Amino acid sequence: MEKSKFNRRDFLSALSLGTGYLMFSNPLTSCSAISADPFQMVKLGNSGLKTTLLGMGTGVHGVRRSSNLTRQHIDESLAVFRHAYDVGMRMFDCADNYGTHPLMAEAFKFIPREVVTVISKIWVRKGSLPEDDRPDSDIVVNRFLKEMKTDYIDLVQIHCMEVGNWTEVYGRQLDILSDLKAKGLIRAHGVSVHSLEAMKTALASDWVDVIHVRINPYGIAMDKPEPEEVVDVIHQLHNSGKGVIGMKLIGGGKYSEDKEKIDNAFRFVMGLKSVDMVTIGFDYIEQIDDYTERMRKVLTEMKNA
């Protein structure tokens, strides 16, 4: 694998000029057949899953089965789901910790189940959920299926892994999820990580089909404050055939009011050849339109570069 060749000063200078993405090889720019559409269909590695380049996150400020979407009126939140689907989004990223499964069930009344990719995540650590007990993954996934009123979930991940030996600590749950995949109750399994050590463990694990990674050019809400360190591992994950979903592009909302940084984040992440798709948490319709147009502008720049 060829490592990224840049230093931080040069990289940040390029970003200030809006050309940071040119420092990376990118499949979106190497193939003229790829469009500048944020909702073009992409493959998530070798997982067999296909979905849109941009997906909807549902967990802004999500904890203890609550998030911004669950705290506002249900009609407002369902309008966000409907608008996301209407403009072309085909991936919805849920989790037990966000409390958004019932919203997804309501959204299925106007969103055809078979045309969207639905993700959920299991919280296996202490804290962050109302209960103290952590049942086995089969019990949890069966509850997810009932809450979302669906026969299957496209991707189930172990949520927010930080320890480097998570595949050993939670090995029983990994085995159970493999069995659920064999039974067709889930189509793929994987992990979301919140440390570089956990990310490296995912790289070494054949069990991981798809991984959520935190990535932006500013090192905010990431596994390391220097994006360069994270990028090399992400490249390896992608090259190994694992699906890579980018999250925290806006630093967990830290620079949501800084439009220049948002655009630079799109340039940076889209400029990597190793992030298959990205998710952004949306609470209201105007956000979807704003971020969609910003992403389309960046993809157009890259296509014409």
State what percent of residues in the chain have pLDDT above 90. Answer: 80
Q: Which of 30, 45, 29, 14 is nearest to 275 (CA)?
A: 45
Q: Confirm whether 303 is domain-assigned.
A: no
Buried/exposed 240-267: b ≥16 CB within 10 Å, e otherwise = bebbbbbbbbbbbbebbeeeebbbbbbb
User: Which residues touch 39 (CB under 8 Å, ≥6 apart)?
Assistant: 52, 53, 54, 87, 88, 89, 90
User: Rounded to an integer, what distance in angstroms lies between the CA atom of residue 24 and that of residue 273?
Assistant: 7
Mean pLDDT for the chain overall? 90
User: Rounded to an integer, what distance in angstroms lies between the CA atom of residue 64 and that of residue 221?
Assistant: 20
Task: Report the CATH number that the domain containing residue 129 is assigned in CATH.
Answer: 3.20.20.100
List C-alpha distances in Å: 134 to 128, 138, 212.
Answer: 11, 11, 22
Convert the pLDDT of each residue in 275-287 to its tens digit: 999 999 999 999 9
Q: Is the pLDDT of residue 18 over 60?
A: no
* pLDDT of res. 288: 98
Q: Confirm whether 4 is domain-assigned.
A: no
Residue with tokens 């499964």: 101
Q: Confirm whether 181 is domain-assigned.
A: yes
Q: Confirm whether 2 is domain-assigned.
A: no
Q: Confirm whether 70 is domain-assigned.
A: yes
Least confident stretch, 23-32, 119-128, 158-167, 196-205: 23-32
Residue 214 carries which side chain, given as an amino acid letter?
Answer: R
Q: H or E element: which one contains 47?
A: none
Query: What residue numbers bound the domain in which 124 lies?
Result: 9-297
Q: H or E element: which one contains 68?
A: helix 68-71
Number of domains, the chain? 1
* pLDDT of res. 61: 94
Q: Confirm whether 260 is domain-assigned.
A: yes
User: Rounded to an integer, what distance in angstroms lies between the CA atom of residue 261 and that of residue 70?
Assistant: 28
* pLDDT of res. 272: 85
Q: Confirm whether 62 is domain-assigned.
A: yes
Convert the pLDDT of each residue in 77-111 to its tens digit: 999 999 999 999 999 999 999 999 999 999 999 99
Convert the pLDDT of each residue in 166-206 to its tens digit: 999 999 999 999 999 999 999 999 999 999 999 999 999 99
List C-alpha distances in Å: 275 to 52, 264, 279.
Answer: 12, 15, 11
Q: Is the pLDDT of residue 17 over 70?
A: no
Per-residue pLDDT band for 304 (boundaries 50, 70, 90) equals confident
Q: In terms of pLDDT, which residue wins out, 24 or 193?
A: 193
Structure tokens at 113: 């189940």
* pLDDT of res. 6: 52
* pLDDT of res. 256: 93
- Tally Cβ neighbours within 10 Å of residue 278: 25
Convert the pLDDT of each residue in 146-171 to its tens digit: 999 999 999 999 999 999 999 999 99
Q: Confirm whether 88 is domain-assigned.
A: yes
| 138 and 75 Cβ atoms separated by less than 8 Å | no
